[in-house]
Structure 1
Amino acid sequence: MNDAVRMNAVSKVYGRGRGAVAALREVTASLPRGRLTAVMGPSGSGKSTFLHCAAGLDTPTSGTVRLGDTELSSMNETRLTELRRRRVGFVFQAFNLVPSLTVEQNITLPLRLSRTRPDKAWLTEVVARVGLADRTGHRPGQLSGGQQQRVAIARALVTRPDVVFGDEPTGALDTMTARDVLTLLRDTVDGMGQTVVMVTHDPVAASYADTVLFLADGRIVDTMDAPSSDRVAARMTRLGAWK
């Protein structure tokens, strides 16, 4: 199976009765292995809900989600937590680093939580790939924003996850730093065979992807392969994202 994640007729409704809000409506999507997929859409289109359901952070109201050949919908919270720890990496807009821990301790935190010994060779490779080989003893407060996001990416990669999910991973970074981080994410796909799924509102960020999924009102309304920032921006304008 070449899908890292497969969503089938996934709907997510928050609330009940008249106050119910449908964040996702019958979404079917395949997120292929070894590819970078960007998810875009206007504010309130369901991007974050899509990511949370795909990553097992949230349970669909109906429909199914598979991570590889593992069906997530039937898992309880304890099993989902274990699965996320072992098989999923996360990179958020906020770096979510522990200020009192060194760079290396932050990177290996998921392994410590799952009581797994770090593979020293793999840790060394990950740290080198994200450009932090000379920073492993530093604490987050001694790093720039871009370096902190590199620590977060290394932390997401260290467990050798099936998928890395990014929720606006460059949202808190300046343009030049964002470009460095996007290049790094692209390199993890091309050089390490990693699978990355990234929610973004930035057409330039989306242009680093292999495929862009466009969401509107909780539905996938379009896809674009080999995207350019200009084509993505034009498509988003037609979706009414920017007026």
Structure 2
Amino acid sequence: METKAPERATAAVPAVRMSSVTKVYGSGDRAVTALDGVTIDLPRGGFTAVMGPSGSGKSTFLHCAAGLDRPTSGSVLLGGTELSTLDEKRLTAVRRDRIGFVFQAYNLVPSLTVEQNIRLPLLLGAGAPDPAWPPHVVERVGLADRLGHRPAQLSGGQQQRVAIARALITRPDVVLADEPTGALDSRTGRQVLELLRDIVDGTGQTVLMVTHDPLAASYADQVVFLRDGGLAGSLADPSPEAIAERMAQWGEW
């Protein structure tokens, strides 16, 4: 008998809960601890930025939160769903339906139109939350007049908007963004960050973003700092200056 799909979280449940998460790559003398006992709740409807020096565990943090990597120990809950207990088939379905991904590389399909790229998760089997949501997403990201274009006909900022719209199309529990402005010029990068901020404020979406840029991180509600695989503090309502000051305390990033 097929197991019932996990229910999405209610507002009272954190979007992501990581409890004593440790991730070790390799074994013996070659073992590397990428995350070391990380415990954190990411609130629903919030915008959290993750920062840290190179090798601090930022990418592993994001991958464990997304179910792309299984922790060596500890637990990761997406809403009320324990990701480590799911087999690969169900984990793939959860990632498709309940997690949106935005990367530095846009990962658009060049032969598809903007509309087709945005709707790709739906074409691959994910269910839209309601018929009105996809048009709302398109309008929100400012692409209503570009739906028939192909990626090569768009600027970098417009392509990243397509990627953001694709990440939102299933109205996921959380959108995970890995250096989403890293390939953009400063002006276009600010526009994309303003869009992410607007999506959080306007739709109640949850965003978790990894970045090395203090200005980008200042768009978040809070910044979480990682160092040597562990949590090293946080800042609420961060300013670029406060973030840069914290970074300077740890030397070269």
- TM-score, normalization by structure 1: 0.97
- Partner residue in 1 for 2:88: 77
Please state if 1:205 is matched with 2:203.
no
CA shift at 1:114, angstroms? 1.2
- Partner residue in 2 for 1:176: 187
CA distance in 1 between counterparts of 2:238 and 2:126 reads 41
- Partner residue in 1 for 2:236: 225
CA distance in 2 between counterparts of 1:6 and 1:170 reads 26
Residues 1:72 and 1:27: Cα distance change in structure 2 (over 3 Å): same
Cα deviation code 1:119-144 (max 9, x no counterpart) = 54211111111010000000000000
Partner of residue 70 from structure 2, selected from 54, 59, 66: 59
Partner of residue 21 from structure 2, selected from 10, 13, 20: 10
Mapping 1:2-151, distance limit 5 Å: 2-114=13-125, 116=127, 119-151=130-162
SS at the partner of 1:73? Answer: helix
Structure 2: any 5+ residue segments left out of the alignment?
A: 1-11
> Which 4+ residue blocks in structure 1 deviate beyond 3 angstroms?
115-120
- Partner residue in 1 for 2:9: none
CA distance in 1 between counterparts of 2:78 and 2:133 reads 23
Percent sequence identity over aligned pairs: 69
- Residues 41, 241 of structure 1: 8 Å contact kept: no
CA shift at 1:117, angstroms? 6.3
- Residues 128, 171 of structure 2: 8 Å contact kept: no
CA distance in 2 between counterparts of 1:199 and 1:129 reads 23
Cα deviation code 1:83-103 (max 9, x no counterpart) = 011100000000000000000
- Residues 211, 217 of structure 2: 8 Å contact kept: yes
Please state if 1:155 is matched with 2:187.
no
CA shift at 1:239, angstroms? 2.1
RMSD, aligned α-carbons: 1.1
CA shift at 1:2, angstroms? 3.4
Residues 1:31 and 1:241: Cα distance change in structure 2 (over 3 Å): farther
Aligned residues: 242
- TM-score, normalization by structure 2: 0.93
Structure 1: any 5+ residue segments left out of the alignment?
A: none
